[in-house]
Chain A
Amino acid sequence: MTRTLRIGDQVVLDRERLAGLFEAIRKLGYVVHGPILSDGAIVLGPIESDRDLPIGWRDRQDAGTYRLERREDDAVFGYAVGPHSWKRLLFPPKRSLWRAEREGARFHLLPIVEDTPKLALFGVRPCEMAAIRVQDRVLANGQYQDSNYASRRRQAFVVVADCHEPGGGCFCASLGTGPTEQGEGWDLAMTEILQGRHRFLVRAGSSKGLDVLRALPWTETSPADLQAAERQRQRALRRMGRRMNPEGAKELLYQAASDNHWDEIAQRCLMCGNCTMACPTCFCVTVVDRTSLDGSQTERERVWDSCFSLEFSYIHGGSVRFSPYARYRHWMTHKLASWQDQFGTMGCVGCGRCIVWCPVGIDITEELETFRSRVGGNREAVR
């Protein structure tokens, strides 16, 4: 350590020193969550040290299928993304909004404990970082702020890990959200190098990240490190399982609103809502009011909801989107088209979860291209 590190400086951390990174983060009072092996998948859970990571595992993914496999090396980040996304931690599936107690003909509010843990998110993929930025726009920086999300997000320490083993469902490269495009919003970014000495290229993206990095036994990068990282990036780009052409997607889907192909999709779609639960940007919720049996207390709880449920669009007189095709059309059109009008970005980051975790393997990239071919636009094959 011969110089003072600055934000953005890329340095080398040996694999054997990874445990120190966890110690440094935990010393700052963070509860670290990251990828762990559980029930035949790599999911997100609390981790104590590098030993809890899915070392030496990879995933094989395709439409409607996911399997774990042993790798031939001891890669720490040798897999793509699993069924969980970080919204589980930043925007939990259930949360109490308020409680009240009856007092004669009046009522008074009872205090609720705002659960805003100081989280460290370890091993966030660039596509997932992009998804967090999408949710930031919607939940923290938009017209209506979700204070719980904003607080969790503000406190979070984010460690991004470049992707060197994309999965069969992945198409981040075609959307510019990966495999190594980290964008903004993180504290540390890591690139795992498997070739030669097992090591990581690490850089800080914030002063919090810089404090952590400065405390670690880093060394300077060599041209060989950078070349190895670039080779890995090129390999990842070649192995991207899918592709989505976002060009003109908005106009394309608006024009396709009455296309018969929606009916064909609805023949396959189960209306189960798995895609919306697995999607890292889907943010829809409903509220449920609970009462005590004697009616003296009530609690309003917020839970993840899905635009595939009938009640989601239920208003006086019935559900607005009653037919299955209207529900799938709403979801896909929102994700790729109207999201742009609403929030200025696409709602899709190319992680492929909706394809992989669809029980019948409906592929949003394929459906988009089907619509493209039907309106006589760009007929270029997608895969």
Chain B
Amino acid sequence: MRAIPKAKRPKLAVWKFASCDGCQLSILDLEDQLLEVLGSVELAYFPEATRAVLKGPYDISLVEGSITTRHDAKRIQEIRRNSAFLVSIGACATAGGIQALRNYANLRNYIQAVYPRPEFIDSLDKSTPIRNHVFVDFELRGCPVSKEQLLEVLNALLNGRKPNIPAYSVCLECKRKGNVCVMVAASRPCLGPVTQAGCGAICPSFHRGCYGCFGPAESPNGASLAAWLRRLGQDDEAIVRLFRSFNAASEAFHSVSTAHENPKPQG
């Protein structure tokens, strides 16, 4: 391993917005490569790993979470101004996350039901991805992100090359692995054909349908998949639930769930 002189190491910052921390913890999950990663960058801001805080500007900012408050909407602008390369990581940062289910409901009702003192809650009506607020240089999908893909993006940035992050469907990964298609062989609903690869087809490898946590693939045809799921016996409610999870607010999944929420009368 070639040691990078400290002064030449890119300054890395890891920021959190509305999220569960799972994506940024994927960095610490890189157990075998962690020391090498830490030897290649200067950790400037990463509260999950260190209390040390360095001033900006930052060479690489990893942004986790969605924008759900006015305060965060301002904070992301500040981060963007201080970052040369900004990567949003995970379903929250790239699509609004599971908390974007609020987009389909009345937020006030939720707040009233959950909090004893609702007046303390100051929240936006909708949960939105980072790119709705600032320019994003690269998006990494998944709930959580794949630690291998996270490492690949850092690796590509350090080596000045394009990251190998394919935008095609999960099916390509699934078939390369030699999995038997759960939809064809067991009629199990699977979002793999319309979901972006990157997870290594984890769920179908364990005989489960993909639930789309990596969000829509590059050319998703959710309408056709949903029509076929109806033929396999799934009702509209099940289809809405399938398309409305971690990437509910992504345009390609949103259009399918809304179409099946208010289905056109038959005949």
Contacts and interface: CB of A to CB of B under 8 A. Distances in A.
B2 A40 contact: no
Interface in B139-164: 151, 154-156, 158-159, 161, 164
B224 A270 contact: yes
Contacts, number: 147
Contacts of A311: 166-168
A37 to B, nearest CB: 10
B79 interface: no
Contacts of B69: none
Interface string A285-322: 00011111111100000011110111100000000000
A356 B184 CA distance: 7
Contact of B169 (A43, A272, A305): A272
Interface in A172-187: none
Interface string B244-256: 0000000000000
Contacts of A27: none
B221 A65 contact: no
Nearest to B225: A270
Interface residues of A, number: 49
A76 B130 CA distance: 57
Given A277-B172, A310-B219, A67 B185 contact: yes
Contact of A295 (B159, B190, B228): B159
Interface centre among B166, B175, B224 (most CB of A within 10 A): B175
B112 interface: no
Contacts of A268: 221, 224
Given A41-B185, A296-B1, A310-B167, A274 B175 contact: yes
A324 B171 CA distance: 17
B75 interface: no
B187 A277 contact: no
A84 B178 contact: yes
A65 B225 CA distance: 14
Given A39-B185, A64-B184, A294 B225 contact: no
Contacts of B155: 291, 293
B223 to A, nearest CB: 8
B10 to A, nearest CB: 12
Contacts of A64: 183-184, 228
Interface in B191-233: 192-194, 207, 217-221, 223-225, 227-228
A88 B178 contact: yes
Interface centre among B33, B37, B40, B224 (most CB of A within 10 A): B224
Contacts of B180: 38-41, 43, 83
B176 A289 contact: no
17 contacts: A39-B179, A40-B180, A66-B185, A83-B184, A267-B221, A267-B224, A270-B220, A272-B171, A273-B175, A294-B36, A294-B40, A305-B172, A310-B167, A311-B166, A357-B184, A359-B184, A359-B192
